[in-house]
Chains A and B, each alone.
Chain A
């Protein structure tokens, strides 16, 4: 029990690393998802096919395998980066694919008349996207987007496999050293829960609000 108190600062530090890694991944994968979603609806059949194929591959391969693919793949092409960058790239690609689907879906959910009206007013496709379609689509995308945040946080646990020091690796190390397995993992579970649950709750609330509005 004593050692648990001693290791608490390490676990708190590790939890902040998890939050930071998640934040970086969310920012990058949101950008990836926005670009993927917009490109797939804006630039014709070939762009759509390319985006959908990429999404299919990135979704169909486990994140853990993608981590190893990037880990060994970048050096194969002569690119050397730190394991942290490997983790950020691999998890962001996978989450980016999931977010592409969210944004694409929300853009496709808009009535056709929105695009037709904008074009009739003489807007360029880019203006139409920026001023008319995206603002509405983002509102539709909000519930599933928020629900992807806890998924991202949980995915960062996999970075521990390529020895990124975050909450999962820290608790495994401390549990193995102190043998306080229950206490250490228990604290880590609570920390993950505290990080993830607000977004799970919020996502569900948004979802309910929207369905209440639709019906």
Chain B
């Protein structure tokens, strides 16, 4: 082994195209989990701010998922759900676990921005004869969601990073692709430098995209 300290860039470049499908899988994981976590997060936030019995249930859900690691939730979903008769493949399990955890964080973001909608807005809505459901849909949520965009952008980057964990249950996304190629060669370190760079490029692209969305969503431009 005289390969010591020699950075084997050729092997990495030769296998770079192998990352194409892996990147697509990671993006699929990201977008599906994001869509579910977004919708579920809104419902959780509304539940958390309601007065009924849903309040406690939503709070318990949010605190549970915020205070336990995603990795062990992922293992639990992978090993325990089948015995409940819920049969999901590894990819679907990954989407479910990512969405379940990140919806709790989205809910906290939405809770904050829903609460910060000026009370005059609600009063005006009621004065116009709106019922609470209409008020939420047409007055409060549109403003709350716009104000949530910067914090959501941060959360999307964290979600992108968390897709790496799905490699542990055998989904061929970027990290597992990197591990497989690393194990097949002496260029393990080089491979993970490439994997790190891929994530860095992806999160940079997402940050830039999110900044554009942020500009477009500003209420006062």
Point out residues on A near B: beta carbons under 8 Å.
Answer: 57, 60-66, 68-69, 72-73, 75-78, 150, 153-155, 157-158, 160-161, 167-168, 171-172, 175-176, 181-182, 185, 188-189, 192-193, 196-197, 200
Residues of chain A with a CB closer than 8 A to B55's CB: none
Residues of chain B with a CB closer than 8 A to A172's CB: 72, 75, 79
Contact of A185 among B80, B192, B196 (CB under 8 A): B80
> Cβ of A72 and Cβ of B79 under 8 Å apart?
no
> Cβ of A68 and Cβ of B75 under 8 Å apart?
no
Residues of chain A with a CB closer than 8 A to B191's CB: 72
Residues of chain B with a CB closer than 8 A to A73's CB: 189, 192
Given A154-B70, A168-B72, A192-B67, check contact A65 B5 (CB 8 Å).
no
> Cβ of A64 and Cβ of B83 under 8 Å apart?
no
> Cβ of A157 and Cβ of B5 under 8 Å apart?
no
Residues of chain B with a CB closer than 8 A to A161's CB: 71, 168
Known: A72-B189, A181-B76. 5 other contacts (CB 8 A): A60-B204, A61-B196, A61-B199, A181-B80, A185-B72
> Cβ of B83 and Cβ of A197 under 8 Å apart?
no
> Cβ of B175 and Cβ of A192 under 8 Å apart?
no
Chain B proximity of A203: nearest CB distance (Å)? 11
Give Cα A99–Cα B221 distance, bound, in whole angstroms.
Answer: 32
Chain A proximity of B77: nearest CB distance (Å)? 10
Q: Mind listing 29 A-B residue pairs with CB under 8 Å? A: A60-B157, A61-B199, A62-B164, A63-B161, A64-B164, A65-B196, A68-B179, A68-B182, A68-B192, A69-B193, A72-B182, A72-B188, A72-B191, A75-B189, A154-B67, A154-B68, A154-B69, A154-B70, A157-B69, A158-B165, A160-B71, A161-B71, A181-B79, A181-B80, A182-B80, A185-B80, A189-B76, A196-B67, A200-B63
Given A65-B195, A72-B192, check contact A168 B69 (CB 8 Å).
yes
Chain A proximity of B182: nearest CB distance (Å)? 7
> Cβ of A60 and Cβ of B71 under 8 Å apart?
no
Chain B proximity of A133: nearest CB distance (Å)? 27
Chain A proximity of B220: nearest CB distance (Å)? 21
Contact of B200 among A57, A77, A185 (CB under 8 A): A57
Range of interface residues on chain B?
35 or more
| Binary contact readout B181-201 vs A (1 if CB under 8 angstroms, 0 otherwise) | 010000011011101100110
Give Cα A182–Cα B75 distance, bound, in whole angstroms.
Answer: 11
Among A160, A175, A181, A192, find the residue whose CB has the most chain B CB atoms closer than 10 A.
A181
Residues of chain A with a CB closer than 8 A to B175's CB: 62, 64-65, 68
> Cβ of B189 and Cβ of A168 under 8 Å apart?
no
Chain B proximity of A67: nearest CB distance (Å)? 9
Chain A proximity of B39: nearest CB distance (Å)? 24
Among A68, A168, A196, find the residue whose CB has the most chain B CB atoms closer than 10 A.
A68
Tell whether B64 is near chain A: CB-to-CB under 8 Å: yes
Given A69-B189, A72-B189, A154-B68, check contact A185 B75 (CB 8 Å).
yes
Given A64-B164, A78-B4, A185-B76, check contact A200 B66 (CB 8 Å).
yes
Tell whether B167 is near chain A: CB-to-CB under 8 Å: yes
Among A61, A171, A172, A192, find the residue whose CB has the most chain B CB atoms closer than 10 A.
A61
Give Cα A172–Cα B192 distance, bound, in whole angstroms.
Answer: 26
Residues of chain B with a CB closer than 8 A to A176's CB: 79
> Cβ of B67 and Cβ of A193 under 8 Å apart?
yes
Residues of chain A with a CB closer than 8 A to B63's CB: 193, 197, 200
